[in-house]
Amino acid sequence: MRIKVLFFDDIFSDLFREKHSAEEVAWDDSWIDSISTALDESTQRIGVNFDIVKSGEIDAWESLIKNEAPDILLLDLFWVEQAQQKYNDRNRAIDISLDALQKIRKSFPTLPVVCYTIKPDYETMERAFNLGATFFLEKVPIAIPEVHSSLKYIFIYLIRQMQKENLILDSDF
């Protein structure tokens, strides 16, 4: 079975990379690598291949979803540099992703969307769920694949639920 994951994070954007040194993004890069490794390691053991498409172009969400046809979307909630550019206010970093989430949900109502951030608070989670997040993760500051291994099972579960709700039958499940 193949599962395509569209991974939206500001860490992948040129804008973010231009504003931050390699040392400043090292933790995020390690975290991303650990998730990629955790998903890659599942192939032989559980028979699932995860194809990961990474993008830092949140404003291109619609064309990316149409072109890539992901099974699931992984969405970072804080886009600091994009908020600075769009609103001239870094404190509106969450508005970038939540605006996109609301539009994604209208255009792609059955696409599972997993939102994440470091140290979420109740209000952040509620806003994300109210706008259509399917699941919420805390971005854990431990960058080893074993910590993120459960993510693959969450993805499989969400896709199975979507298939049940849409009465899509797939013999691989």
Is 62 part of a structural domain of the chain? yes
Model confidence band, residue 26 (pLDDT cutoffs 50, 70, 90)? confident
Side chain identity, residue 114: V
Asked if residue 121 is part of any domain, the answer here is yes
Question: pTM for this structure?
Answer: 0.87
Give the rounded distance of the alpha carbon of 134 from its chain centre: 11
Domain that residue 57 falls in? 2-165
In a domain, 172, yes or no: no
d(CA 130, CA 126): 6
| Number of domains observed in the structure of the chain | 1
- Residue 55 in any domain: the answer is yes
* CATH at residue 10: 3.40.50.2300
Euclidean distance between the first and the last CA atom of the chain, given in angstroms as a whole number: 8
Return the minimum-mean-pLDDT range out of 22-36, 38-52, 97-111, 157-171.
157-171
pLDDT band, very low/low/confident/very high, at 173 (cuts 50, 70, 90): very low
